[in-house]
Structure 1
Amino acid sequence: MATIDNARSRYSRVAIGLHWLIGLAVIANICLAMLTEGLPRDAHRAAMNAHKALGMAILALTLIRILWRLVNKAPPPPETMRAWERRASRFAHFLFYVLLILLPLSGWVWMSAADRPIDFFGLFAIPSIVGPDKQVADVLHERHEMLGLTMLALVVLHIAAALKHQFIDRDRLLSRMNPF
């Protein structure tokens, strides 16, 4: 059983905080989008307003995380990880960053094209980035949903991989992102 103990093997506190904040926000947003469909109109609208604002917060936090990552190198993976696992991990993380940017952007463009402003938790309105256009709104609605389902699959895969490393490989990989 290999272990990860030295300080260089852990992410920084900022990276760990951003990881968990963004991760929990993404899971909450997936729940808001998927579990509120059958609610009465007013409840659904309130959930979708929270979904949109949370999506914009995720976009901002992701940009901060990318900037942090450019300045602060990630710890190396454990030596016990197989080459294919390293490649899969790099690809999954790259895909996460792509989705964490494209998903909120597609929602923003969709809402702009649908002429439905995004209210950021009652604090201010986020300006539209395109003019009203029903065709664009319809296309972006479909693309946004496809990206959301891709994000859901990636989140499930990420959690499954983390649990595999913790309970099957027992390589303590989770300790790299443990906030405690």
Structure 2
Amino acid sequence: MNAYKQHFLRMAIYNRWAYRQLYEKLDKHISDEDYRTDNGLFFRSIHGTLVHLLLSSKVWYARHVNSPYEEKYPFQLSSYWSRPAHEWEQAVTDRKELRQMIFIECDRWIDFVRQLDTEALMKEDTFTYVDTKGNQHERVRAEVLDHIFNHNTHHRGQITAIITKYAGQDGSPVLDLVAMPKDEFTTVN
């Protein structure tokens, strides 16, 4: 496997690992009340932010595999981007179910990256997709993959700040890429 594809596989595996670290601390230190409280995040609560991460992952995956993303949560998936933040929280209301769905998405991205054509990535393969407002875009696939993994990191950082608010620094997860054990990558490579 060349270094370019290996980078994306490492990021997909890191994404799953970082969610495991995050959920370990959420489960240990964050009550359901604090988990659902409006903490001033863009998507209000920890729950709302995690729902946003799930739904955006589903949308980007559908774009990459060129399939429709009109699942209902309870609204059409693509309509959430025009809805207020509090409505995102209603897409998946059960905390445990949301966790399970996020890990299914993580595994789906790992499998997707494994199947990517290395040569196409190296040649800056582009793909066309329609955004949630109906606008068509053509983007370099590798750049969008970087965006997807960075987007997850961005919002996990927001959640980590809220965990620190409630549980202190000792209760906060360490999510640095270099903190991921090397065998985490080699066992699934």
Shorter-chain TM-score bucket reads: 0.3 to 0.5
After TM superposition, the score normalised by the length of structure 1 is 0.33
Q: Which has the larger radius of gyration?
A: 1
Higher helix share: 1
After TM superposition, the score normalised by the length of structure 2 is 0.32
